[in-house]
Structure 1
């Protein structure tokens, strides 16, 4: 993948995630972005012009094939050494987050303790999100100040998530010896 294509993809990732209004929309969009990035890598590695490879691999990757699901595809990439253990575990955590927010669609917030607790397990978040966000409780103050502080925390969390997801997707787009 050319540098220009990678840059455009990074911009698309940031734009897509920035437009998500709710945590549900955000984690659903991140799941779709991971699926797209994994699919590109899988296609680079397995979908060659060689007839034998194409004949054998094509059915495995189809929508009803055994490699159709993201969780199976990332296991394959991890097993082949094309995905680091940290990124593999982080993508798994994002898959779990998507499932978690699906049950509570509109009422779950980025700043909810259940989301924050799950974010602690994502290694890519440790390098981009300030630790103080996990413990941050707005002080007793006027309603407007508390609301502003909560909004600020939400923006920090969302921005940190965007950076973490972009870093993981960059790893999926690196050139590999198999592609």
Structure 2
């Protein structure tokens, strides 16, 4: 079971007995270890998931979920893997109400340990904040809306976005084609930039900058 699923079970009040929790956490750590050993496969899955997000909302949801996986890959590197340590030390730390139960706290941990740099940390925080903001905003934004382009333009990982074309043309069909093309280019830039960020974080090693 993925770490996020385990944490959601705990946070929702569904108590887990010690043995199933230990087994679930052990499986999660094994799954994360397998992903770490296949970086190209993980990067391909990130690209596929992000590319499937047709709306801004679904795109950000997928981005933060994948970012959480990458962060979890780093977090588990610092822990002992034997059953005793997992049961009595690791599991209580990652428990829903434990000190590392929140993604934002795990992000601070890997940054404080020097596992990611400041730019990567700030990008992760901004993406998480943007997703949280959209959770409370029912408006469906386009990738080219200022409310989206503004925050994305602040991300260190994003390559320079293409300049906005002049849409003040009289031909409505041509204008619609330009707008559609611009949206596709912006979306592709975001997908590739975040794929690079998430994959890079997932491939880092503990205590190596």
Say which one has the larger Rg: 2
In the alignment, does 2:176 pair up with 1:159? no
Residue in structure 2 matching 1:13, options 46, 52, 74: 46
Matches within 5 A, 1:16-165: 16-49=49-82, 51-52=84-85, 55-105=88-138, 107-125=140-158, 128-132=159-163, 135-165=164-194
**How many pairs are equivalent?**
173
Structure 1 runs of 4+ aligned residues shifted over 6 Å read none
Contact 1:24 1:105 in 2 (8 A): no
Give the gaps of 5 or more residues in structure 2.
Answer: 1-35
Question: What RMSD over aligned residues (CA atoms) do the two structures have, in Å?
Answer: 2.1
Higher mean C-alpha deviation, range 8-17 or range 169-178: 169-178
Higher mean C-alpha deviation, range 158-167 or range 113-122: 158-167
Give the gaps of 5 or more residues in structure 1.
Answer: none
Displacement of 1:36 in angstroms is 1.2
> TM-score if structure 2 supplies the norm length?
0.74
Q: Cα gap change, 1:147/1:102 in structure 2, threshold over 3 Å: closer, same or farther?
A: farther
> TM-score if structure 1 supplies the norm length?
0.85
Higher relative contact order (CA 8 A, sep 6+): 1
Q: Cα gap change, 1:105/1:15 in structure 2, threshold over 3 Å: closer, same or farther?
A: farther
